[in-house]
Amino acid sequence: MADTLYLSLWYPNLRLETLPDKLIAVLGAFAAHGGEAKVYSATVWPVSWNEAPVFERIYGRMAGGPGQAPGAEPRLAVEEATELLHEDYAYEFQIGWSLWALETEEAGLSARPAEAGVARDDNQQPHGQDGGPLARWARGPRLVRVTGYGALFDEGAYEQDGHIRIDFGSDAPFLEEDADLDLVGARHVEENVRQLVSLTAGVEKASGATARLLWSELGESLAKRLAARLGMEN
């Protein structure tokens, strides 16, 4: 079963006025670890997630794309959002991060034209236990959320979620539990996991975090599930 994967970061004695610099450092680290250099959007949430945003701006991802503005440099996006700097606000940013994933198509259909920012592996394999439609691995960007918490937002949610939390979305690219992994698939899953480990270490170092936790919504260990998936359990 797919789960939602998060990375929480904590900083000792963090003062609110230093939170923007931490956010800039975390967002800036993505480009060196399989991510994009620019921010897609910024949203400011007051008091709790139940409230309407007090600030929201979509910068877009691809410069020059039809009807899209270019993405924003992390410093610009953070500075704009944190003009409203309050202890009971949360500051959410979306940024692109590329991973390998399986895309399926019915056997016999021709491949779709290449999309911008997407790389494909022409090796195909049956998808699922029943042999099902053919699947092909494709590497492309997905949006992840980076959120910085004021100390009073959502009744001190930072204590559990971190001063900064990264929401990676579904953990499927790191497990692909519905697919029959061949050597090619196992290699792509391993590459995704290595990239996750690299990014985790990178954002911790860049932002000076003193504690970090990679965790899932259902509370299951990604490392344990991965070991079971690849047949590495004792």
pLDDT at 70: 77
Contacts of 149 (CB under 8 A, 6+ apart): 90, 157, 158, 161, 162, 163, 164, 165
- The whole-angstrom separation of Cα 11 and Cα 199 is 18
Q: Give percent of the chain above pLDDT 90.
A: 62
Average pLDDT, the chain: 84
Tell me if 155 is assigned to some domain: yes
Q: Are 84 and 148 in contact (CB under 8 A)?
A: no
Residue 114 lies in a domain: no
| Residues 177, 191: Cα–Cα separation, whole Å | 16
Distances in Å between the Cα of 58 and the Cα atoms of 42, 93, 194, 202 are 7, 10, 30, 26
Which one, of 187, 190, 196, 202, lies nearest residue 216 by Cα?
196
- Residue 112 counted as domain residue: no
Instruction: Find the domain containing 73 and state its range.
Output: 4-105+119-229
> Would residue 176 count as lying in a domain?
yes
Tell me: pLDDT of 200 over 80: yes
Q: Give the SS3 label for residue 57.
A: strand
- With beta carbons less than 8 A apart as the criterion, state whether 118 and 156 touch: no
The answer to the question of residue 153 being in a domain is yes
- Decide which of 61 and 40 is more confident: 40
pLDDT at 210 over 50: yes
Over residues 73-114, the pLDDT tens digits come to 999 999 999 999 999 999 999 999 999 988 876 433 333 333
Q: Which residues of 143-152 are buried (b: 16+ CB within 10 A; e: fewer)?
A: ebbbbbbbee
Report the domain count for the chain.
1
User: Above 90 in pLDDT, residue 178?
Assistant: no
74 in any annotated domain? yes
> Could you tell me what percent of the chain has a pLDDT over 70?
77
Lowest pLDDT segment from 53-57, 58-62, 117-121: 117-121
| CB neighbourhood size of 78 (10 A) | 27
Residue 123 has pLDDT above 80, yes or no: no
Quote the strand ranges of the chain, DSSP E: 4-10, 35-46, 55-58, 89-105, 119-126, 134-149, 164-170, 211-216
